Amino acid sequence: MHEREINRYWKKIVNTMSEGLMLVGLDGTIVSVNEAFEQLTGYTAAEVIGRPCTLLQCDACEGTLKDSGHKWCRLFEKGEVIKCRCHILNKKGSYVPALKNAAVLKDDNDAPLGAVEILTDLSELDRLDQQVEQLSRRLEAEDGFHGLIGKSPAMQTVLDIIQKAAGSEAPVIIYGESGTGKELAARAIHQLGRRKKGPFVQFNCAALNEALLESELFGHIKGAFTGAYRHRQGRFEAADGGDIFLDEIGDVPLSLQVKLLRVLETKQFEHVGDHRPISVDVRIITATNKNLEELIARKQFREDLFFRINVFPVHLPPLRDRLEDIPLLVNTFIRRLRSRTGKQISGLTAAAMERFIDYTWPGNVRELKSALEFAFVISESGLIDLHQLPPKIIESLPDGSTAGPIPSTIVQSTDSVHRLPTTYRLEEPAEKTALIAALRQTNGNQSQAARVLGINRVTVWNRMKKYGIDLKRVLSI
């Protein structure tokens, strides 16, 4: 294509651009714009040509405009390309976020002719960013408090204590049975505390024998023992400036308890095989599923160390003491598993949920999560039924019975401790049955019922209309 042909089709070419284009003369007046500019600003070409470019009130121009002089804009003075994010005022008086690329146009003698500005509309990108932020906040809220899920009074008390513990520099000890979420609680304390920008180092004290445990915690120098071929940094060094979480503190041998006590009291320790003290600034968080006072009575745990680590105790309740949190836990884990596996599993049958409520959960939340993972392997879609649960849970039915045919009644997340009815008229559609159950569960609140079912409020209203559901009649039964 020759230059003459390019000039002939120039207007058509610039109008195919998705970005707004504006040509500005030496005096700052708008010379030409393309169609994308018109869509972006709401102005027609006739409305802006001949008017000053300051009409757009671009906030990025505030630092480039000059009070007087031929080179009224520093763009002409420096002759450089400007790339920046800005806001421009559209015809309606609203500011539109945009990405600006501006450059000076020059002739063959390097004399400026004007300027060209390319404006990319960022409105949709900003909207998506806000949507992602909102969804992230929603996901965090739905997934609980820093991963700790529960709205029962027992859990609310724990969460309040965790927040207070996070605001302190004192040692924290977390008590709780296996599977109650001690690691999550420790991490929440770190993330809410003053050391959140520092490292969070965790270590299970029951994982290694005494010799290896000492090396892992305090590090060693080359040649300290057979196999020590190089210097090694310990966990306390790695945690300098942050928090160290020592799980199963009750399993630490007595000989190492002395060293831990010294770190707590002096903030110093030595590498294995060395005598030079190392100073660290670390806040210690410990956890145990044992009764430390009983260990003290049996001379298996030092009383002075107990007093040092037991400054701020946090007691995590077992799952059997917060049964009202089970539906919320179930729905949270099902949502995660559904996202991970792609399986269209929508919840539990009423009988399966009833079993979850009645089961004692010796493994606590970890066992409940494992049970759902097992069910997801067995199930393909729909509702998880009794016979799809782990054998241990089925075999422990109080009456010794086994799982039989169960009504298809979905039980979804709810803040209420009341259980859904276990039977409905089987000739009714499952969708209608689930909706009636959710409406009864939420005392007729359609917004809450929508959250229970994982749908929006409009869908609830449409289904009520579709099945002719009389809310007063439903609540009166």
Q: How much is the pLDDT for 230?
A: 62
Alpha-carbon separation of residue 50 from 29, 30, 38, 60 (angstroms):
5, 5, 15, 21
What CATH class has 143-317?
alpha beta
pLDDT tens digits for range 168-206: 999 999 999 999 999 999 999 999 999 998 999 999 998
d(CA 459, CA 447): 10
Q: How much is the pLDDT for 210?
A: 82
In angstroms, how far is CA 341 from the centroid of its own chain? 19
Q: In sequence order, what are the residues at sequence separation of 6 or more whose Cβ sits closer than 8 angstroms to the Cβ of residue 335?
A: 142
Dihedral of the CA atoms 331, 335, 338, 341 (nearest 10)?
-110
Query: Per the structure block, which two tokens stand in for 20?
Result: 């707004």
User: According to DSSP H, which parts of 143-206 are helical?
Assistant: 153-166, 182-192
CATH code: domain 322-476 is 1.10.8.60
Please determine whether the domains at 3-125 and 322-476 fall in the same fold group of CATH.
no
DSSP state for residue 418 in the 8-state scheme: P
- The β-bridge relationship of strands 312-315 and 344-349 is unpaired
- The β-bridge relationship of strands 30-33 and 20-25 is antiparallel
CB 347 within 8 A of CB 410: yes
CB contact burial 308-341 (16+ within 10 A = b; e otherwise) = bbeebebebbbbeebbbbbbbbbbbbbbebeeee
**Superfamily of the domain at 3-125:** PAS domain (3.30.450.20)
DSSP string over 73-125: BHHHHH---EEEEEEEE-TTS-EEEEEEEEEEEE-TTS-EEEEEEEEEE-HHH
* Burial of 297 from C-beta contacts in 10 A (0-12 / 13-18 / 19+): exposed
CB 419 within 8 A of CB 353: yes
Q: Which residues of the chain have pLDDT under 70?
A: 1-8, 59, 62-72, 74, 76-81, 94, 126-144, 228-230, 396-430, 454, 477
CB 447 within 8 A of CB 434: no
pTM: 0.56
Tell me the domain boundaries of the chain.
3-125, 143-317, 322-476
| Residue at 287: amino acid letter | A
In angstroms, how far is CA 71 from the centroid of its own chain? 51
Q: How much is the pLDDT for 6?
A: 54
Q: How much is the pLDDT for 229?
A: 63
